[in-house]
Structure 1
Amino acid sequence: MKLSLQSLSVVIPKILFLTLCFLSYSGFSQTAQNLNITGKVTDKQGVTIPGVNIVIKGTLNGTVTDVDGNYAIDVPSDSTVLEFSFLGFKNKSETVGTRRVINVTLESDIKSLSEFVVVGYGVEKRTLLTGAVAEIDQKQLKDLPVPSIDGVMQGQVAGVQVTQNSGTPGGAMSVRIRGISSIGGSSQPLYVIDGIPVTTGDFSQLSFSGQGVNALSDLNPNDIESITVLKDAAAASIYGARASNGVVVITTKRGAAEKTKINFSSYYGMQQAWNTVDMLDAREWMQYRNDLTGTQVFSPEQMNNIKVDTDWQDEIFRTAPIANYELSASGGTEKTRFFMSGNLFDQEGILLGTDYRRVNGRLNLDHTINDKLTIGTSIGLTYSKTDRVESDQSLHGVLPNGISTPAIYPVYNPDGTYNQDGPYSNAVSIGNEYISESYSYRAVGNVYGDYKILPNLKFSTKWGIDFLNYREHSYESTILVQGAKYNGLGFETYSNILNLVSNNFLTYTKKIDKHNIEVLGGYSFEQYQTASSSIRGQDFADQSLEYISSASTIVSASASASFSGIRSFFGRANYNFDNKYLLSVSGRLDGSSRFGENNRNGFFPAVSAGWRINEEDFMDVAVISELKLRASYGLTGNDDIPAFLFAELYGNTSYGGLPAIYPSNIPNPDLKWESTAQFNIGFDLGLFEDRVVLSADYYDKQTKDLLLSRPLPPSSGFSSITQNVGEVENKGIELAITTQNYVGDFTWSTRLNLSGNRNKVLKLYNGEPIDDLGRGSSRIEEGEPIGIFYSYNSLGVDPSTGDIVFEDTNFDGVITAADRTKVGNPHPDFIGGITNTFGYKGFDLSIFFQFSYGNDVFNGNRLFLESLQGGDNQVADIERRWRQPGDITDIPRATTDPIAAASNKRVSSRFIEDGSYMRLKNLTFGYTFQNDWKNIENLRIYFSGQNLLTFTEYSGLDPEVNYRGDDNAVIGTDFFTYPQARTFILGLNLSF
């Protein structure tokens, strides 16, 4: 019998439930013991602790405390030793002796809490980790005025490159863990929130290139307790087919058995452009035009009596407010714990026509029914609204039009209407009148149950849902040049995304003398579906009627839907001897509907080992508190391709006035995963009782079976077919150091991370490069990194002619396409971040620098702003242009000769710049008042600045750009990209 994905989703949970019932029955069938011991477990404040593990030393027999902290256990003799343990408290042993009632007080162990790290399907003690894992905790998350989860990771984790493609409010970021492992697929990591993989990506149907909106922006970063980044295969392979790009495990805040605590936090601030491009003013532009044409286009009288000198950048950039308000409550009893929060984030963009507003609500509940069963739920709801304007990859946007419009043109006519006399549309009119609104409605929730079958055996089940409704509304009235072409132009789009997830697994732990074993095994499935529709209309009867119902002409309409699923069996076994020798083995078997029937299932195993040398008798060195060697090897996959790409697909058309269909895709039943094999070796070192902690790693990632479009001969009737035809490697090193420099009334700590990655394409179809991609002429070629800049090498300006001279690489005496060569590399040599945190009594100061070194940027703005032809405004640098024979300069002549002008403007190394930068990403200074007020636990005020200083040689608006957003093939290219803002905020934290 052949089981479908749907039938498996029903059968497997039933099997797990029957297994649970059987094990539960066997767990109750225990032989009675001689002595019955009872008691209660509390903390130092006398609060009872439910769920404490109590084990008879040297055996597997034990029990746990109930919701009131009570326990009862049968022991064989008076000499029996009972061991009490609970997360966050120090272990304690008690010999029975003559006592029959043993009450125990456990001492809090704050350090032990920080020793545990959330990983895939559980937590592990930090000292016993054998994989490459990094964690971002609350200390690093606080006071960062960033609206999205990916933003808080920037510069915080070695090996994780976070690029803010543009400064658009709510805009998407590119997150790459250990380099780019795919060409045609995504290189974004898998995000898992509270154990459930969530939907990410840009679902906009209206193209905004680098200003794409990521669904991840819907989630409130203030709800996060911790972020764990799983970087190597050993840590990530438990997620199998989607783990090639790494995994980001996010844990949200939860309640505890304590009195209810109310937290209110808020900040308000202002944003401004930290940089502008130095452009020609009205007089300089007039002189340039006269020089260009060789005539008196503008007379001396006009140049001496300038009536209009518009600073267009001053008109389109603005000082914009940003605000955040959050109220949360947490607490509970031994039986029920809760966390709930509400959040309003409101950001106006520094560029006209842009803003972002988000409202979040969250409720996390945990309820202990008895000493065996705990249930709970996490529910997050979000509404967000984004306003965007065209920018990069467009000549009809606010930013390109504003910068390119000469200063001689006014913003408004004398009658108050917009002046449209410039070479492009009036930028201010676009910012004020263009309507492009997107609305996101998001619900992410899960329910779970943990059942302790035996003291050492637990069954966990979790069911989650992620639903996203995304709507876009766009309208250009006849006031705008673009809208006037169509007598009004409007769009409406809708997208619905639903992801249903279920995880079910058993966890077994066993300790025999010095042998410690943990085994996990489970089953999961996901069902993913999308539905979208769009409609375009024009010819609006009235400019104030902006919805499609008012369009006289419906130009186009479309609708589509897709369904896919994945079912998986996974397991992990951890073993350690005496907490000294460590071994971990994991694996996942995935079956995905996205791939052909011949390769629908994939197996992704991994193995890792560790040696804690500091635990050896011969390593008796007082200054060394931890020294661990780690090594791992494993396989992970990437299934980020459209559904049904393997199948024979059909499109619709008309033939002879009748509806018809035609084949649109060649079937490929052999289509399979992109697979990454990764080797990792590293060590962890702690000195002076962990006042200095260092972690270093070397990795080698080999990705094969890349999914690429292979060209087909025209005789086939198709242009290409998607096949597994490529290979890529990433090799690199990572270093993370944390130091406690001073401890006492004055404290000073430092966190530094540094990483370098080397990317190389190993194999393409028939060795043929993928060429001429994007505005910077990016290229994918064997033996080179993905997306190198490949064009003409400029040798500078010929002093005798004023024209650019290009290198004749093949020495044939003429400059042709055959002379193109590698002229730049967008990949940095290394990236990193450094944070210094100071404290003195109630004062605190945090200084965070983030940096990138060695990467090139193609400044596509200069193709227009330094073209020295046409009617665009030009950068002020052209004032040093070549004017007469003998001039030595790097700027060519201004000319109307179309051949010379085209040659000087051609894409070349002339527009390649060093994109290295160091940025003071965040500076926060705060003061926490002493607890002198009744019922107020904490009151803190702080000042914070974001992007305060940027040190770079790049001449554009922002060195951290990519006009193509999350495109793996075209990176490091700037084309009028929305820059990031400099932000100043004043904040308040209040707890009572």
Structure 2
Amino acid sequence: MFKNAKLTSRSFICSFVLVSCFLFFSQTSYGQNITLKFKDVPLKTVLKEVQKQTDYRFVYNDNLINVNSLVTINTSGLSIEKVLDEILSKTKVAYKIAGKQILLSPKSSSVEKNQQDNNRFIGFVKDSNGDPLPGVTVFSAKSKEVATTDLQGRFELKTVRAGDAVNISMIGMKNIILVADNRTEYTIKLEEDLVQLQNVVVTGYQTLSRERSSGSFSVIRNTALESKTSSMNIVDRLEGLVPGLSVNMSAGAEKFLMRGLTSINAAKSPLVVIDGVPSNYDVVSSLVNPNDVESITFLKDATAASIWGASAANGVINITTKVGKPQVRKPKVTYNSFVSLRGKPDYSYQNMMTSSQLVDAAKEVFSVTDYPWNTVIASSSTARNPVIYPHEKILYDLSRGLINQTTADSRIDSLKRLNNREQIEDYFTQNAMVSNHSLSFSGGSDYHTYYASYAYTGDNKSNKSSSSKHQINIRQDFKFTKNIKLDLTANISYETGEQYLVPDLPTTLNNYLPYAMFSDNSGNALSQAYLKKYEPFRKDAENKSLLNLDYFPMLENSYTQNSSSSLIARVNAGLSINLLPGLQYQGKFQYQKEFDKGYAYYSKNSYKVRDELVCFTVAPASPTSLPTYYLPTTGGHYQTNSVNNTSWTVRNQLLFDKTLAEKHQITSLAGTEVRGDLSVMHDTYRRGFDMQTQTYSPYDEKALSTTGVSSPIIISGTSSTSILNSKAETFGEYDSRFFSLYANAAYTYDKRYTFNGSIRMDQSNLFGSNKSTQFKPIWSFGASWNITKEKFCTSDLIDNLNLRVTYGFGGNSPRPGSGGPFDILFPTNNSRFTEIGYVVALPGNAGLSWERTSTTNIGIDFAVLKNRISGSVDVYQKKTTDLLGYQPLDPTTGWYYAYGNLGQIDNKGFEVMINSVNISTKNFIWNTGFTLSYNSNRLTEIKRNTALDFSSKMYEQFIEGYPAYSLFGFDNIGLNQNGNPVARKANGNEATLSSQLSIDDPIFKGVTQPKWYGGITNEFSWNGFTLSALIVYNLGHMMRNDVNTFYTGRVTENLKESFSSRWKVAGDEAITDVPKYIANTGTSNSQRYLPIYTQSVQNIISASYAKIRDFTISYSIPKKIISKIYMENLSVYGQVNNIMIWKNNKFDIDPEFYNIRQGTRTDKTPPFITIGLKVTLL
């Protein structure tokens, strides 16, 4: 079925051209005359017929123009002006043609005409960006005179006196009432009415009003996103603004979830759609400039998302980008810019010991008995790690009598006085900074509009890495005739990055020995070879190999290069053709290419290259001979990786939208879609590479990666043979193809009762080959009741009350390469064969099906007090079957597991969104937005390929009968008299050893994913100043505590401060719960089971927190000032991000800089500031 994808694409293009040409030449020309024949019909009937025969649209106020008055007309071949004169000659209606708009207004009386000169009320109406607003109704309450703005936004009333009230209104904008004074001209600005605008829903396949759909939607406008500079990824900016969308920044947690979890091994995040075509988060971050986004629609229930089929069970985020608007003046030019100053990581957050604390602790636990000198030194022939650390060397020298106590104390004190924290911050970190510049142009005419933008983003990270990104976006819309429209979008993004590398650090910088200095007082690099190998062993290896093994961490970055580049280009075309009244053909085609390349080069001076070379070198057989090198001795290591991705989408659909007898509204669509995605990966690794000549020295990679080198100077593994692990070349390919049929329909009666239905069928090469898995239709049904349209709902307090109910199915497909109907092969090398062999890594599964999620949703939308308070409440239940994952097989088949359908998960929850206009006066406005979401889930069935025990239960996230992302812990009742942790078992007995524990003993303590989440936004505006604050919160989830993990062995890196609080002497069990230190690891394991403490329920703590995600102050400079320098708008702002206001733990843990499952702290950056500006030119 999919081998004809190219033919399908070509057929679409051919059909596109033929249909366009046929319909283009069949249309009436721009200047074609009009034929009308009506007798005693309502005026509105004639106006509709004129609109059908021409490109003109009528704009009028129903309260002022009697469109039900009867008219008679019989004309043929007349121009638009003559037709209007004939139609309106016997009415009290006047007209004015402005572009393709015909503005109707009441005719002025003779008395009014005599007063025109004295009572003129003239003005211009503009939007918040300063653009003219045509079609705005301006109405005098006293004289009843009405006017409509033209394309320049201009209006004129001729019967308004000082003190009269004038009403200015437009659909989608907030109405205002202005009291006339003695001015000769007025400039009026209308603001968007978000309540009205949010009632327009873009699903990606169609655009419809909310009242004609029963689905659960949320809509975010661009004005809510533009100033949120915490991330250049538009999806990251949505945190706290959308009910149902969970954004969890904690490491070890799922970042984006919409209405809970519907998959455990396939995609978990919502499907992202850009201008009607599916994409992914990386592409969104690369291609989409947040300043180019017009709106984002969230499809959350089955009716909303089922149209996207086997990709939408997790919800859909549909991003609509900006388009051009007709401009009667020169193009609109807008410039946006900001700079974020983000500081350095706060290393004090790690709670590590100082040099003095560490050396004292090392002295306390030093044990010559458990780690005698000769035993430690003997390990140097088989171990590549350092065997003697500076603090140990002093203590060993003292115990061996090589130095006296005074000398030892002096040397110990010298180590205590050292502190490398400042050097780490100076040499390996920098103040992070993000800058962005965006320039856009837009404009056009009635027949062609355009929107073009360029953006640059520079990102200097705190680890000294950097990146730069260039984005170009061009959108053009063509109106060839009244019935044929075409839109073309081209995007290109080019991003480069430079990574700062310090290869082969002994530990992370957070755990680095605090006395290990990187430079002397003069700034000269110091060797830390003592952290890599025992000094006599290193010298011996250098003498045998004739290679230097010194190690200067401060210089290592200068021996390396690491760069990456990414180029993404996208072309999107859409065609719409009005075939018949109410019937429209829509075609969509998108082609996208992505080229990702990266390379890392380690010169021959880098420790990584020198160390590996020694590991593949055999010592000389005699003092007069030379060592034998099995790897090149010149050049460095050159590693490349590349990914080429090609994706395309072809969609053809018919859309029907018709209102019958004024009460019956019918909307439906049906279509087909074909998608393909091909990714090709190629990685290389060359040794002996010369960057100047781009050549490398040959070596026997196959032999070194199979048989290896026996008895090298230093072994690379645990045996006496060094084996080469990295392959010279690796390849990979993922090919995904989809074919879909879909349809949906909606019927609305009298704007009160709406019924929706949809169905879709997907076929894919990712599913099994059985017919039962390929032919599984997804369907949904919904109904809504607009109560405010009922005659009994007459309260002036209620502006909108709409009840919604939906039920249906969504889907989720397997990840490419994770499993499918065919065997998955991996290449392998073996010394028995001369060619590359292949291993069946996973067997094919002909019965593999996509995950299927049913969703029931009940919701209500409301608005009261003239839309001062509006919002929605939704309650939902989701049930996912056929969960994808690795299911167990009978071992006699040759495999223990295969990728298949293995379980079921249920979700339930509710969402609340409330928007309010708290205060609205001429000079002061206060708005508030509030979102609250709750979700809980439970895995009702899961087939495991390995049996659970008490140990694996502590790490497993998905266990039958429990919620996803569960955390379990032992019930630790404290320490015994020996300083070892004691657990209370499920049966009430006590346990200290692993042999005494069972699978029933771990206790469920909670989940790592927030149960409650949302945000609160407040915005205050006064005389050009705007203050806004967004508070986000995540509540009801848990995390493992950051506890000491060092209880046995030698001190080889820095330790947690809590190590000092461990049990030391009998009786300490009354004041501490930190187990004692036991030097010998074998003894430690035989006496206790440490996870009883480290993974106890007592060390599972709340991860709840609330933060001010952004606090912004902005000021728009008055137009009377900036107009003198040819600016229409100039605003500046300052912003502070990520201010912690509350966290529900007493250990100073910020859950956003923390691995909540492992219980470890990550690099924490302080709150950062941003300054920015926005300029629009006249």
Give the TM-score taking structure 2 as reference length: 0.72
- Matching residue of 2:1079: 896
- Per-residue deviation at 1:290? 1.4
Cα distance in 2 for residues equivalent to 1:826 and 1:64: 62
CA contact (8 A) 1:324 1:346 kept: yes
Q: 2:453 aligned with 1:349, yes or no?
A: no
| Residue pair 1:772, 1:778 contacting (<8 A) in 2 also | no
By how many angstroms is 1:3 displaced?
8.6
Q: Distance in 2 between matches of 1:314 and 1:867?
A: 30
Q: 1:192 aligns with which of 251, 256, 273?
A: 273
Post-superposition offset of 1:447: 1.2
Query: Which region of structure 1 is more displaced relative to structure 2, 489-498 or 648-657?
Result: 648-657
Aligned residue runs from structure 1 range 179-578, under 5 A: 179-200=260-281, 216-258=285-327, 259=329, 260-273=331-344, 275=346, 276-293=349-366, 299-302=408-411, 304-305=413-414, 306-311=416-421, 314-315=425-426, 316-350=428-462, 352-388=463-499, 401-412=508-519, 415-422=524-531, 435-477=561-603, 482-487=608-613, 489-512=637-660, 513-538=662-687, 549=696, 555-578=727-750
Give yes or no for contact 2:342–2:1165 (8 Å, CA) kept in 1. Answer: no
In structure 2, relative to structure 1, the CA distance for the partners of 1:101 and 1:840 (3 Å cut) is closer
Q: Distance in 2 between matches of 1:22 and 1:659?
A: 57
2:631 maps to 1:631: no
Q: Do the aligned partners of residues 974 and 961 (structure 1) sit closer, same or farther apart at CA in structure 2, a change above 3 Å counting?
A: farther
Residue type of the alignment partner of 1:580: R
The correspondence of residues 771-810 of structure 1 with structure 2, limited to 5 A, is 777-798=955-976, 800-810=977-987
- State whether residues 255 and 330 of structure 1, in contact with CA within 8 Å, keep that contact through their aligned partners in structure 2: yes
**1:908 maps to which of 1088, 1092, 1095:** 1095
Structure with more helix by fraction: 2
Partner SS for 1:518: strand
**What is the Cα deviation at residue 421 of structure 1?**
3.8
- Give 1:923 shift: 0.9
Distance 1:639 1:889, change over 3 A: same
Task: Measure the CA separation in 1 of the matches of 2:1076 and 2:566.
Answer: 50
Matched letter for residue 943 of structure 1: G
Residue 712 of structure 1 and its aligned partner are, at CA, apart by 2.8
Larger radius of gyration: 2
- Could you say if the C-alpha distance between residues 872 and 340 of structure 1 is closer, same or farther in structure 2, counting changes exceeding 3 Å? same
Classify 1:417/1:575 alpha carbon distance in 2 versus 1 (closer, same or farther; 3 Å): same
> How far apart, CA to CA, are the structure 2 residues paired with 1:581 and 1:339?
39
| Structure-1 separation of matches of 2:1063 and 2:87 | 93
**Higher mean displacement: 435-444 or 935-944:** 435-444
Write the mapping of 1:848-867 to structure 2, written as runs, cut at 5 A. 848-858=1030-1040, 862=1043, 864=1045
Question: Which position in structure 2 is the counterpart of 1:740?
Answer: 917
Mapped partners of 1:972, 1:220: distance in 2: 34
Counterpart of 1:592 in structure 2 is 764
Change (3 A) 1:960 1:575: same
**2:223 aligns to what?**
139
Moved more, 236-245 or 900-909: 900-909
Aligned residue for 1:506, secondary structure, equals: strand
Residue type of the alignment partner of 1:991: T
CA distance in 1 between partners of 2:574 and 2:8 (Å): 20
Matches for 1:80-91 after TM superposition, within 5 Å:
none
Matched to 1:500, the amino acid is W
C-alpha contact 1:471 1:492 (8 A) present in aligned 2:
yes
2:1141 and 2:686 mapped to 1: Cα distance? 44
1:959 aligns with 2:1151: yes
Judging changes above 3 Å, is the alpha-carbon distance between structure 1 residues 378 and 865 closer, same or farther for their aligned structure 2 residues? farther
Shift of 1:364: 0.7
| 2:1114 alignment partner AA | G
Where does structure 1 lack aligned partners over 5 or more consecutive residues? 38-53, 82-91, 202-213, 964-970
Specify which of 1051, 1056, 1080 is matched with residue 870 of structure 1.
1051
Aligned equivalents of 2:926 and 2:492: distance in 1? Answer: 39
Contact 1:771 1:780 in 2 (8 A): no
The higher relative CO (CA closer than 8 Å, separation ≥ 6) is in 1
CA pair 23-589 structure 1, distance change in 2 beyond 3 A? farther
Give the structure 1 partner of residue 887 of structure 2.
710
**Aligned match for 2:1063, one of 882, 905, 912:** 882
The 3 A distance-change label for structure 1 pair 115 and 583 is same
Take 2:287 and 2:1062, find their aligned partners in 1: how far apart are those partners? Answer: 48
Contact 1:237 1:605 in 2 (8 A): yes
One-letter code aligned to 1:289: A
Q: Does 1:833 align with 2:833?
A: no
Quick check: 1:35–1:77 contact (8 Å CA) kept in 2?
A: no
Alignment of 1:586-625 (within 5 A): 586-598=758-770, 599-625=773-799
Q: Deviations over 1:768-803 (max 9, x none)?
A: 7667999972332111112323354433344x3333
Distance verdict in 2 for CA 1:511–1:222, change over 3 Å: same
Counterpart in 1 of 2:129?
A: none
Listed one character per residue, the Cα deviations across residues 272-327 of structure 1 (whole Å, up to 9, x for unaligned) are 25742232111111111112226896654345454412226645443222211111
Q: 1:249 offset after TM fit, Å?
A: 0.3
Identity percentage of aligned residues: 24
- Deviations, residues 399-439 of structure 1 (Å, cap 9, x unaligned): x6111112111122575245354489987667776644332
Query: 1: CA distance between counterparts of 2:776 and 2:881?
Result: 14
Compute the displacement of 1:21 (Å): 9.2
Equivalence for 1:692: 869
- The residue aligned with 1:116 is 200
Q: CA deviation at 1:59?
A: 8.7
AA of the residue aligned to 1:406: L
Per-residue CA distance 1:855-899 (angstroms, 9 max, x = gap): 12235x646578896322122233333332222123333331325
Structure 2 unpaired stretches of 5+: 29-33, 60-66, 74-83, 97-101, 104-134, 137-169, 174-195, 369-391, 396-407, 534-550, 614-635, 702-726
Task: State the TM-score, normalizing by the size of structure 1.
Answer: 0.85
Residue aligned with 2:306, SS: helix
Please give the alpha-carbon distance, in whole angstroms, between the structure 2 residues aligned to 1:962 and 1:184. Answer: 23
Q: Does residue 1107 of structure 2 align to residue 919 of structure 1?
A: yes
User: Do 1:492 and 1:535's aligned partners in 2 also have CA atoms closer than 8 Å?
Assistant: yes
User: Compared with structure 1, are the counterparts of its residues 370 and 68 closer, same or farther at alpha carbon in structure 2 (3 Å cutoff)?
Assistant: farther
SS in 2 for 1:56: helix
Seen in structure 2, the aligned counterparts of structure 1 residues 787 and 619 have a Cα distance that, compared at 3 Å, is same
The 8 Å contact of residues 954 and 1002 in structure 2, kept in 1 or not, is answered as no
Aligned residue pairs, count = 930
Which piece of structure 1 moves more, 879-888 or 571-580? Answer: 879-888
Please give the secondary structure, in 1, of the residue aligned with 2:223: helix
**Residue matched to 2:52:** 63
Letter of the aligned partner of 2:1174 in structure 1? N
Distance 1:471 1:881 in 2: 50
Q: 1:528 to 1:612 in 2, by over 3 A?
A: same
CA offsets 1:595-641 (integer angstroms, 9 cap, x no match): 12212233111111111112212122221111111111111110132
Matches within 5 A, 1:981-992: 982-992=1167-1177
Is contact 1:652–1:660 with CA below 8 Å preserved after alignment?
Answer: yes
Go from structure 1 to structure 2 and tell me whether the alpha carbon gap of 1:429 and 1:820 turns closer, same or farther (over 3 Å shift). farther
Larger strand proportion of the pair: 1
* Contact 1:199–1:466 (CA under 8 A) maintained in structure 2: no
Q: Counterparts of 1:476 and 1:822 in 2: how far apart (Å)?
A: 48
Q: 1:356 deviation in Å?
A: 3.0
Q: CA RMSD in A?
A: 4.0
8 Å CA contact retained: 1:423, 1:871: no
